């Protein structure tokens, strides 16, 4: 059990990669705080986590709302007394070509994917600085490294996360807090399930390992970054993409 007794706070944890990370952390002994806007599935995920014999709380929280994030973090601290691991996982896509992309499509993706990471990191890092320990893991994407046609908004938000990760890592490293990013490639979740079949086939053709990634492929990297095995690693990006970018 790599995370025995630790408290992890995961945004967008009700489904997909965030849920898989929560289940993986719970199986490794961590207690969980899950935040999401998807009210219908949040309770179900929390029940599944509790079935793993750890303590779990779920909160409705939109990462865009700084005040709400503050309230939820306070509730988590009232309940658990500390936060050892923050996983900034909540993210959305609103794809379009640049010339057709509306201002709202651009702004809304930046607000959730990038500003949301700023909001939660700002609040939780204060607690970790007091604790003099912590792990922050930000969910980026390979498109934040190499770009992607049709995803100017999304790739800008994910590239922004990489800059934020490295800057925060420099600011709070002396407090024994590591800050790293994971850049997944093509992972099979509800986010990618909706893509047209030909787009999925095109992506798959660029994966040397010849299969889409699973949420558990990403969760394993997130477990490593939360565990003692990564204690001297900070400001880094772990690419989990079956070799798409190399
Ligand atoms: N699936 C992939 O191929 C892939 C690749 C690279 C990066 N990612 C990133 O991994 C993360 C998880 O993706 P996924 O595939 O599991 O997606 P998903 O859509 O299955 O899950 C995203 C979760 O975030 C929640 N969420 C959305 N907006 C929110 C908000 N404003 N506040 C709080 N929660 C919110 C959703 O309700 C959902 O539970 C995202 O940041 C995504 O950009 C995914």
Residues 19 and 14: their CA atoms lie apart, in Å, by 5
pLDDT-based confidence at residue 237 (cuts at 50, 70, 90):
very high
**Domain at 7-233, CATH from 1.10.260.30, 3.40.50.1460, 3.40.50.720, 3.40.1180.10:** 3.40.50.720
At residue 79, the pLDDT reads 98
Is 1 a residue whose pLDDT tops 90? no
- Domain coordinates in residue numbering, the chain: 7-233
> CB of 186 closer than 6 A to ligand 1?
yes
**Token output for 152:** 């100017």
pLDDT tens sequence across 102-118:
999 999 999 999 999 99
| Nearest Cα to Cα of residue 141 among 155, 151, 120, 130 | 155
Residue of 23, 61, 92 to test ligand 1 pocket, by largest number of atoms within 8 Å of CB: 92
Alpha carbon 104 to its chain centroid, in Å, reads 23
Protein residue with its CA nearest to atom 38 in ligand 1: 12
At residue 119, the pLDDT reads 98
What is the CA(132)–ligand 1 centre distance, in A?
29
Per-residue b/e over 217-229, b at no fewer than 16 CB within 10 Å? Answer: bbbebbbbbbbee
Residues 213 and 236: their CA atoms lie apart, in Å, by 20
**Token output for 75:** 């509730």
pTM of the model: 0.98
At residue 161, the pLDDT reads 99
pLDDT-based confidence at residue 193 (cuts at 50, 70, 90):
very high
Protein residue with its CA nearest to atom 37 in ligand 1: 38
Could you tell me if 77 and 83 are in contact, meaning their C-beta atoms sit under 8 angstroms apart? yes
Q: How confident is the model over 129-153, as a mean pLDDT?
A: 98
In the 3-class helix/strand/coil scheme, how is 113-141 assigned residue by residue? Answer: HHHHHHHHHHHHHHHHHHHCCEEEEEECC
Protein residue with its CA nearest to atom 23 in ligand 1: 12
Is 235 a residue whose pLDDT tops 90? yes
pLDDT > 70 fraction of the chain, expressed in percent and rounded: 100
What is the CA(82)–ligand 1 centre distance, in A?
25
Residues with catalytic annotation?
154
């Amino acid at each position: 059990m790599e995370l025995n007794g630790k408290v992890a706070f995961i945004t967008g944890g009700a489904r997909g990669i965030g849920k898989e990370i929560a289940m993986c952390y719970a199986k490794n002994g961590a207690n969980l705080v899950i935040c999401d806007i998807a009210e219908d599935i949040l309770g179900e995920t929390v029940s599944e986590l509790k079935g793993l014999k750890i303590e779990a709380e779920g909160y409705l929280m939109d990462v865009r709302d700084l005040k709400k994030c503050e309230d939820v973090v306070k509730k988590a601290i009232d309940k658990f007394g500390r936060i050892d691991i923050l996983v900034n996982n909540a993210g959305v896509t609103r794809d379009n070509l640049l010339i057709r992309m509306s201002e709202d499509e651009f702004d809304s993706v930046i607000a959730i994917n990038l500003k949301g990471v700023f909001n939660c990191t700002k609040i939780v890092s204060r607690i970790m600085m007091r604790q003099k320990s912590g792990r922050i893991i930000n969910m980026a994407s390979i498109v934040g490294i190499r770009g992607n046609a049709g995803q100017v908004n999304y790739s800008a938000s994910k590239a922004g996360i990489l800059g934020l990760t490295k800057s925060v890592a420099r600011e709070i490293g002396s407090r024994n807090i590591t800050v790293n990013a994971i850049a997944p490639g093509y992972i099979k979740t509800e986010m990618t399930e909706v893509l047209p079949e030909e787009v999925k086939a095109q992506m798959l053709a660029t994966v040397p390992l010849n299969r889409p990634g699973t949420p558990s492929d990403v969760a394993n990297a997130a477990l490593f970054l939360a565990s003692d095995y990564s204690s001297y690693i900070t400001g880094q990006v772990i690419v989990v993409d079956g070799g798409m970018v190399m």
